[in-house]
Amino acid sequence: MEHLIRVSDEVQAALLEARAVVALETTLVAHGFPAPAGVEVGLASEAAVRAADAVPATIGILDGKIVVGLTGAELDRYTPDARKLGPRDLAVCAVQGAIGATTVGGTLAAAQAVGIRFMGTGGLGGVHRGFPTPPDVSADLGACARIPALIVSSGVKSLLDVGSTIELLETLGVPVLGYGVDTLPLFYAAEGGPPVSARVEDATEAARVADAHWRLGGNAILVGRPPDESLDVTDLIEEIVGESHERGIVGQAVTPYVLAALHERSDGETRRVNRDLIVANAGLAAEIAVAYAGL
C-alpha cells in the first residue's frame, strides 16, 4: 500500500506500539472555516490530542497519496480549492494527484486502512432538511455503518434534519452515546436535542462500550459531547437553509455554504463556538483512545 498511503513516522510508531492515535479530518480545515482559520483549528485540535497523551493523525490526500499524519506545512495547503472527499472519492483523488480534504466518512475510510479507530470532529453529517427533496444524506452515515470507529462530535450538524438522522443511525446500528448527558447536543447548542441511546459518564466507560461493541461485530459509535458555550441560532439556520434551497445549492456545497453564511451573519459567534467544540472533541477522542489502549 506504500504507493497509495503515507503514514508519518510518529503515527507509524504509535500504531506499532498500540498507543492511542486519533484521526482528524481536513474538510473542516479547508471548507468549514474561512482560510486561514481552518488551519489554526486543525493545529489546535492536534495540540488537544497531544495534551491528552495521544498521537494526532490528520488525514488528507496530497500528491497522489493518502497522507496519515500531515505536517503543519502540509496542512497549510488545505485551502478552499481542495476537493471535498467522501469515502468514494479517495481513490479517484489519489490517482488524479489532486489535493483532497477528507470528510468524516472519508477520514474513517483512510483510518480503517491503517488501523486507527478513534476520531474527533465538530458535527457528523446526516439527513439534510427537506428530504426527499433533495434526497441528500451524508456519506458519513454510510461510513458509520461499515467502519468500526468511535467518533466524538457535538452531535450531528444542526443545519440537518436531526430527528431523521438519529432514526437512521439507529437503523444502521450506530450507538449514539451522550457524554455525561441524556440528550444529543445540537452542534452549537448543548440542549434541546433528541434522547441518546445511552449515556456514558467518563472516557473509560466509553472505551469499554467501544471494545464490547466491536467484539460483537458492531461498527461506528457516536459520542456526543456538548459544546462548553451554547449558542441558539435556530432562526438563522432556518433562514440560511431556506436560502440555500432557493439558490439551488445542492450536494457537497450545502454544508460549506450554510456554515460560512452562519459564521458571517452571527458576527463570528458560530465560528468561535464551532472552533472551540472541535478542539474539545479532539481532546475527548484522545482521552477515550488512551483509556481504550489501557483496557
Which candidate in 25, 46, 84, 287 is catalytic?
A: 25
Distance (Å, rounded) from C-alpha 53 to C-alpha 266?
A: 35
Q: Which does 255 bind (CB under 5 to 8 A by kind): ligand PSU, Mn ion, none?
A: ligand PSU
Name the burial class of residue 20, with classes exposed (0-12), middle (13-18) and buried (19+) by CB atoms within 10 angstroms of its CB. buried
Among positions 56, 87, 120, 125, the unique one binding ligand PSU when judged by CB under 6 A: 125
Buried b (16+ CB within 10 A) or exposed e, 224-234: bbbbeebbebe
Q: What are phi and psi of 199, to 5 degrees?
A: -110, 140
Tell me the CA distances in angstroms from 135 to 118, 131, 157, one per residue in order. Answer: 29, 5, 17
Please give the helix or strand (H or E) that residue 126 lies within, else none. Answer: none
Q: How many residues does the chain have?
A: 295
Catalytic (active site) residue 170: no
259 interacts with ligand PSU by CB under 6 A: yes
Closest to Mn ion by CB, 222 vs 258, is 258
Listed ranges 14-22, 55-63, 98-106, 203-211: which one lies at the site for ligand PSU (CB under 6 A): 98-106
Distance (Å, rounded) from C-alpha 226 to C-alpha 160?
A: 17
89 interacts with ligand PSU by CB under 6 A: no
Give just the sign of the alpha carbon dihedral 160, 163, 168, 173.
positive
27 interacts with ligand PSU by CB under 6 A: yes
161 interacts with Mn ion by CB under 5 A: no
Give just the sign of the alpha carbon dihedral 78, 81, 83, 84.
positive
Which candidate in 46, 84, 157, 287 is catalytic?
A: 157
Closest to ligand PSU by CB, 123 vs 224, is 123
Catalytic (active site) residue 157: yes
Show contacts with ligand PSU in window 32-71 (CB under 6 A).
32
Min dist. Cβ of residue 15 to ligand PSU (A): 23
Among positions 8, 138, 158, 165, the unique one binding ligand PSU when judged by CB under 6 A: 138
Show contacts with Mn ion in window 124-153 (CB under 5 A).
136
Min dist. Cβ of residue 197 to Mn ion (A): 24
Which residues does the annotation mark as catalytic?
25, 157
